[in-house]
Chains A and B, each alone.
Chain A
Amino acid sequence: MTLAADKNTDIVVPDGHVKLTIDGAEVVAPKGELLIRTAERLGTVIPRFCDHPLLEPAGACRQCLVEVEMGGRPMPKPQASCTLTVADGMVVKTQLTSPVADKAQAGVMELLLINHPLDCPICDKGGECPLQNQALKHGRTDSRFTETKRTFPKPIAVSSQVLLDRERCVLCQRCTRFSEQIAGDPFIELLERGSQQQIGTAQDQPFQSYFSGNTIQICPVGALTSAAYRFRSRPFDLVSTPSVCEHCAGGCATRTDWRRGKITRRLAAEDPQVNEEWICDKGRFAFTYTTEPDRLLRPRVRDAKTGELRDASWTEALRVAAEGLTKAKEAGGVGVLPGGRLTVEDAYAYSKFARVALGTNDIDYRNRPSSAEELAFLGSTVSGTNPEHGVTYGDIEKAPAVLLIALEPEEEAPGVFLRLRKGNRKHGNRVFHMGQWTTPAVVKTNGTLIPCLPGEEADMLGRLPSEVDELLRRPDAVILLGERAAEITGLFSTARELAAQTGAKLAWIPRRAGELAAIEAGALPTMLPGGRPVTDSVARAEVELAWGLETGTLPTAEGRDLAGILGAVANGRLAGLVIGSVDVHDLPNPELAERALDSGVFVVSLDLRESSVTRRADVVLPVAAISEKAGTYINWEGRRRPFPVVITGTNRLPDCRVLDTLAVEMDADLFTQTPAAAMADLGRLGHHTGNRIPAPSVDAGRPNRPGQRHAVLATWHQLIDHGSMQDGEPHLAGTARPAVARLSVDTAKAFGVADAALITVGTDRGSVTLLAEFADLPEGVVWLPSNSTPATVRTSLGAGHGALVTVTTAANGAAS
């Protein structure tokens, strides 16, 4: 006893820390740390079920009982180490040194198992099951229970993608606590009492939450399982590869499990600075699009005789492509539309290809509504952003106030939504949403809606409530802009001014994973890689040097943006197009795009799957999906998110490789033969320290105003909608939020649709018919989900956020 004490008198306890003893070893711990965490840091894992570091302590399962002495007096009962914070002089004995603790833990384990079904052979969790592991480690070797177990019909679907097996549930309440605390979606709850207590939903309301998949991952038993993954695999059959999500710009760390060349499931990986331990359901489940039947596997060329697309070898396809592009270059020029879902390496290859092989600045990755003001904003404010100097998730969590403008966080950047909610719950941070109605995100962040007309956001920034203005002036306040800002004249400019005036930090959160990467790669008409303005001769010279080009090779004028490129193709001024994965229906003017593609232009398409673009292309080159290549995304924070190849040996080629070879056919050298090579080549350019693109300075636009016969349209994408990257996963699709049109009661009355269940929103281009729901929109405003119906806002209406639309009762009574 005395020897050990003497040895350890040297431990210095820093400020804010305490010293305690665990199993005879002295340890220093920060004040407020939970005993179970301290023990973990020592290497002693106390068994547990309900404890989770990111959830508030519950103390429900009682598995983590240890013996504790305080102030020399033993506490009369064993304590739950997951609810006890460390204190100076505490003496703790875990199961390692205390027979009482060991027996208590074994006792709890036995009690947990009495009603637990012997399902291991058919339970998905087997092999990665904390109950199995802890039972074997801390439980009895035999069961004394010979009575009747309580049983439930099983499984039941609490949503189309989450199955519940109530017999297996140990009532740790991680799922209900996650849903209530983290996600704010209390649709899954404890029902009944005592031994009949069970997890469940209301009869009429499934477990509808964008984050429901996380409950599957944190469930310590096989009670919550994924409908998509059920019975598919054993964990020891799987190869687990760390990866990054390719959907939104959040950059969540994921873990992809696969075997025999197929991905079986995706999980959230732990990244405390970015996604903590969570991912949204889209990130978790939407990966089957890469194995859809329309996946392109072989190159195709348009047969000269029949005019039909046929399979071809790579050699032939690349030759045809090179010839066609060379001709098109001479006939007027080629435009490049890389699309917004590329890695840095791939986007860089497009960017370099445009300049080196095609000699043009006509490149724009923004396959969505965009503007010249946005271009200036991206070049001046977004390019080069990084976590050291920009806004981070951590900044969002600790900001005393966050103002979101034209950004619907839960639908567009779920990870950001979770942090906003966390910041409010843990620190009381204020969240202001400038938008059109009180969405669930407003409610779940305890936020305040600053309502305005769609298109009025920029003007509204000049008329903010004084409370908001005052809060934005506090240190660490944050302003967030979303992708929709490109449809609102003057918003980028006024937001920059507001940030400058108040000292709040400004960040832009786009909707796609490849946006920041494409900006850094220079896949824009005004920018070379690194944000270098194409019009800046010093910048051009840098790039020419690094690329081994003769001085003066790079085009000196700014190129056309996407609308300009398509317009020029449509009226014959551009003769060729190189298109990455671009869905025509995402474009602001799908009709123009299709006209352009049908105009006889020579199209080289690099894509994953068949689409309206590939069907019109002259050459189709299949490219690798994210799981088939290595690469790097850059998330909205500017944080680099590199990931390795997940499924090896597929022989699929990333865009950078395809373009590299194509360039060679055109006598140009990209040096992007592999992602590593591409990254190295980009790295040779170095960090840009010279002139930047000037910031935009556009006055706040005047929005369309509603009138007697027209409403103003507000629209954005729901997280789970008809996006093509969600194809092939019906379980996920079943959890989409219902597609409804929203308007206020007064607006409905004004347009004579107050009693109609279905309403039709139309333009002269077409219409969308939907169920209507009342919400607190400003008068004369109607909201539609952009892509949740067969008829979509862009394609069918040809409209966007802020457009004028008519509102009538449905003509034929069916939604469309």
Chain B
Amino acid sequence: MSNELVPVLTKRWLSPNSWTMDTYEQLEGYQGLRKALGAQPDQLIELVKASGLRGRGGAGFPTGLKWSFIPQGDGKPHYLVINADEGEPGTCKDIPLMMADPHSLIEGCIITSYAIRANFCAIYVRGEVLHCIRRLNAAVQEAYAKGYLGKNILGSGFDLDIVVHAGAGAYICGEETALLDSLEGRRGQPRLKPPFPATSGLYASPTVVNNVETITSVPYIVLGGSDWFRAMGTEKSPGPKIYSISGHVEKPGQYEAPLGITLRELLEMAGGMKDGIPLKFWTPGGSSTPLFTAEHLDVPLDFEGAAAAGSMLGTTAVQVFNETVSVPWAVMKWTEFYKHESCGKCTPCREGTYWLTQILQRMCKGEGTAADIENLLDICDNILGRSFCALGDGAVSPITSGIKYFRHEFLALCEKNAEDSYEAFLAGASA
């Protein structure tokens, strides 16, 4: 049975003035909150666990389980932090969502905060999206005005403050512990885990960090229940998911589909390849996920399926490239990105991306050799799993998968140097 689109989170985007309180309340807005406030917080945690909701920020960690790690009755303040630092290349679902339907995120925040007993929530939005921050800020003001935020929300006795916090341009702040450090007013460099944010997060207190899309899913789960949620998607990856299709397709855009849909199905909905030029390579979940090719048109795009096929689901940021794009060039550009965004804390990522970038730049200029390809792979091997956080791992994905499927292209760049014997002139040592 082929998959159909299931507009849930994206549904309200069609409505005029969808971002306003009026529109939101007319379209079932804050009904989930009312229902949640009538229940016990632990019921909500069980509900989200039962629904099988998995984090939509890339890692796919079971959300209800994450909430249950917060120690209750510990006497410490708890915090909810929303990771709205959408920066993974190819990912463009959270920004439109927050612009079109900010109240759905806010409602999700209030329900989640209630469930984990947090009275302060910070939405950390990347700084480069002013209109999104503007919409969020306005929605938060509207929510306060209506009594959905502040003290004694809807007479429940539950207090919550939300702060919309703008970042300042650092992809690494999408990593949850780097985000927490940034939110505390520091450099956005990741922290050691353990301790995990659930026990020691914001201000060393128990904290849940969740992605925008994850939390936005919560009001629907409260309203519709876990069975309804599980009616979409697959058993281990239930629910609807916003797939962002971009690149060389006729109709790029945001497509909300059940988890497990394939690229073949999505391509059909997106009008096929642009100008009919054949597909060459694509990313299932952003640049940090290993590339796929036309071989993988039928891979089910859920967490298990993508992993089984040798990549990761990531943020379902489907970037589609046709045959006009040089793989080494694309890989080089992505590596430049990782080098620019590397925080610098750990040796493999900081030095590794620096080195990899120069090799790839040299190769793209035609000054590379076959030995460079082997070096690239070996350097990647010394970075993958050795760096402090997943940025290092993400940085090597385009290179290793690019060479895996398109080694011939890399070699072709070295043709002019193939005859010269490879003499390594050691830049420093020969002096």
Instruction: Give chain A's interface residues, CB within 8 Å of chain B.
Output: 57-63, 65, 76-78, 83, 103-104, 107-108, 110-112, 114-115, 117-118, 142-150, 170-171, 190, 192-197
Contact B354 A107 (CB under 8 A): no
Q: Does B192 contact A (CB under 8 A)?
A: yes
Contact B354 A150 (CB under 8 A): yes
A192–B350 Cα distance when bound, in Å, is 12
Contact A170 B355 (CB under 8 A): no
Hey, which chain A residues are within 8 Å of B362, CB to CB? Answer: 147
Q: Which interface residue of A63, A104, A111, A148 has the most chain B CB atoms within 10 A?
A: A111
Contact B344 A190 (CB under 8 A): yes
Hey, which chain A residues are within 8 Å of B428, CB to CB? Answer: 117-118, 143, 149
Contact B382 A107 (CB under 8 A): yes
Hey, which chain B residues are within 8 Å of A193, CB to CB? Answer: 170, 187, 341-344
Hey, which chain A residues are within 8 Å of B359, CB to CB? Answer: 147
Q: Contacts A104-B382, A117-B428 known; A62 to B346 CB distance under 8 Å?
A: yes
| Top 3 A-B pairs, shortest CB-CB distance | A107-B382, A197-B344, A77-B385
A78 to chain B, nearest CB (A): 6
Contact B346 A194 (CB under 8 A): no
Extra 19 A-B pairs, beta carbons < 8 Å, given A114-B354, A146-B427, A171-B345:
A61-B346, A63-B347, A76-B385, A104-B382, A104-B386, A108-B347, A108-B386, A111-B347, A145-B426, A147-B355, A147-B359, A148-B358, A149-B428, A193-B187, A193-B344, A196-B344, A197-B344, A197-B345, A197-B350
Q: Which interface residue of A63, A65, A110 has the most chain B CB atoms within 10 A?
A: A110
Q: Contacts A62-B388, A194-B342, A195-B353 known; A57 to B347 CB distance under 8 Å?
A: no
Contact A195 B346 (CB under 8 A): no
Contact B347 A170 (CB under 8 A): yes
Interface 1/0 per residue, B369-407 and A, CB below 8 Å: 000000100110111011110000000000000000000
Q: Contacts A62-B348, A145-B355 known; A103 to B427 CB distance under 8 Å?
A: no
A115–B427 Cα distance when bound, in Å, is 11
A413 to chain B, nearest CB (A): 31
Chain B, Cβ-Cβ closest to A106: B382
Hey, which chain A residues are within 8 Å of B355, CB to CB? Answer: 111, 114, 145, 147
Q: Which interface residue of B187, B340, B350, B352 has the most chain A CB atoms within 10 A?
A: B350
Instruction: Give chain B's interface residues, CB within 8 Å of chain A.
Output: 170, 187, 192, 339-348, 350-355, 358-359, 362, 375, 378-379, 381-383, 385-388, 424-429, 431
A110–B362 Cα distance when bound, in Å, is 20
Hey, which chain B residues are within 8 Å of A150, CB to CB? Answer: 354
Q: Which interface residue of A77, A170, A194 has the most chain B CB atoms within 10 A?
A: A194
- 30 A-B residue pairs with Cβ-Cβ distance under 8 Å, sorted by A, are A59-B388, A60-B346, A61-B347, A62-B387, A63-B347, A65-B386, A76-B385, A77-B385, A78-B386, A103-B382, A107-B348, A107-B379, A111-B352, A111-B355, A111-B379, A114-B354, A115-B351, A117-B428, A118-B428, A146-B425, A146-B426, A147-B427, A171-B344, A190-B344, A192-B344, A193-B187, A195-B339, A195-B350, A195-B351, A197-B350
A584–B426 Cα distance when bound, in Å, is 64
A58–B343 Cα distance when bound, in Å, is 14
Chain A, Cβ-Cβ closest to B423: A146
Hey, which chain A residues are within 8 Å of B425, CB to CB? Answer: 146
Contact B339 A194 (CB under 8 A): yes
A213–B335 Cα distance when bound, in Å, is 39
B395 to chain A, nearest CB (A): 11
B9 to chain A, nearest CB (A): 32
A140–B347 Cα distance when bound, in Å, is 16
Contact B424 A107 (CB under 8 A): no
A62–B345 Cα distance when bound, in Å, is 10
B233 to chain A, nearest CB (A): 26
A782 to chain B, nearest CB (A): 36
Hey, which chain A residues are within 8 Å of B379, CB to CB? Answer: 107, 111
A150–B427 Cα distance when bound, in Å, is 12
Contact A108 B187 (CB under 8 A): no
A192–B343 Cα distance when bound, in Å, is 9
Hey, which chain A residues are within 8 Å of B340, CB to CB? Answer: 194
A-B contact count (CB 8 A): 117
Contact A146 B348 (CB under 8 A): no
A192–B354 Cα distance when bound, in Å, is 15
A80 to chain B, nearest CB (A): 8
A76 to chain B, nearest CB (A): 7
Hey, which chain A residues are within 8 Å of B339, CB to CB? Answer: 194-195
Hey, which chain B residues are within 8 Å of A192, CB to CB? Answer: 344
Q: Which of A63, A148, A195 contacts B427 (CB 8 A)?
A: A148
Hey, which chain A residues are within 8 Å of B354, CB to CB? Answer: 114-115, 150, 194-195
A617–B333 Cα distance when bound, in Å, is 80
B207 to chain A, nearest CB (A): 20
Contact A194 B344 (CB under 8 A): yes
Hey, which chain A residues are within 8 Å of B383, CB to CB? Answer: 107
A77–B383 Cα distance when bound, in Å, is 11
Contact B348 A144 (CB under 8 A): no
A196–B383 Cα distance when bound, in Å, is 19
A151 to chain B, nearest CB (A): 11
Q: Contacts A60-B346, A62-B347, A107-B348 known; A194 to B382 CB distance under 8 Å?
A: no
A166 to chain B, nearest CB (A): 12
Contact A111 B348 (CB under 8 A): yes
Chain B, Cβ-Cβ closest to A145: B355
Hey, which chain B residues are within 8 Å of A108, CB to CB? Answer: 347-348, 382, 386
Hey, which chain A residues are within 8 Å of B381, CB to CB? Answer: 103, 107
Chain B, Cβ-Cβ closest to A63: B347
A115–B339 Cα distance when bound, in Å, is 14
A148–B345 Cα distance when bound, in Å, is 21
Contact A60 B427 (CB under 8 A): no
Contact B192 A171 (CB under 8 A): no
Q: Which of A142, A144, A147, A194 contacts B353 (CB 8 A)?
A: A194
Q: Which interface residue of B343, B348, B358, B359 has the most chain A CB atoms within 10 A?
A: B348
Hey, which chain B residues are within 8 Å of A61, CB to CB? Answer: 346-347
Contact A145 B427 (CB under 8 A): yes
A176 to chain B, nearest CB (A): 11
A148–B361 Cα distance when bound, in Å, is 12
Chain A, Cβ-Cβ closest to B375: A144
A58–B192 Cα distance when bound, in Å, is 7
A63–B386 Cα distance when bound, in Å, is 9
B394 to chain A, nearest CB (A): 14
Q: Which interface residue of B347, B348, B387 has the most chain A CB atoms within 10 A?
A: B347
Hey, which chain A residues are within 8 Å of B347, CB to CB? Answer: 60-63, 108, 111-112, 170-171
Hey, which chain A residues are within 8 Å of B187, CB to CB? Answer: 190, 193
Hey, which chain B residues are within 8 Å of A57, CB to CB? Answer: 192
A57–B344 Cα distance when bound, in Å, is 17
B349 to chain A, nearest CB (A): 8
A144–B428 Cα distance when bound, in Å, is 11
B152 to chain A, nearest CB (A): 34
B343 to chain A, nearest CB (A): 6
A76–B425 Cα distance when bound, in Å, is 37
Q: Contacts A144-B375, A197-B344 known; A111 to B382 CB distance under 8 Å?
A: yes
Contact B429 A143 (CB under 8 A): yes
Q: Contacts A83-B192, A111-B348, A112-B347 known; A78 to B424 CB distance under 8 Å?
A: no
Hey, which chain B residues are within 8 Å of A83, CB to CB? Answer: 192
Q: Which of A77, A118, A195 contacts B386 (CB 8 A)?
A: A77
Q: Which of B192, B378, B382 contacts A59 (CB 8 A)?
A: B192
B88 to chain A, nearest CB (A): 17
Hey, which chain B residues are within 8 Å of A59, CB to CB? Answer: 192, 346, 388
A77–B393 Cα distance when bound, in Å, is 11
A111–B359 Cα distance when bound, in Å, is 14
B134 to chain A, nearest CB (A): 27
Hey, which chain B residues are within 8 Å of A118, CB to CB? Answer: 428-429, 431
A65–B387 Cα distance when bound, in Å, is 10
A149–B428 Cα distance when bound, in Å, is 9
Q: Which of B345, B378, B386, B429 contacts A60 (CB 8 A)?
A: B345
Chain B, Cβ-Cβ closest to A196: B344
Chain A, Cβ-Cβ closest to B191: A59
Contact A194 B348 (CB under 8 A): no
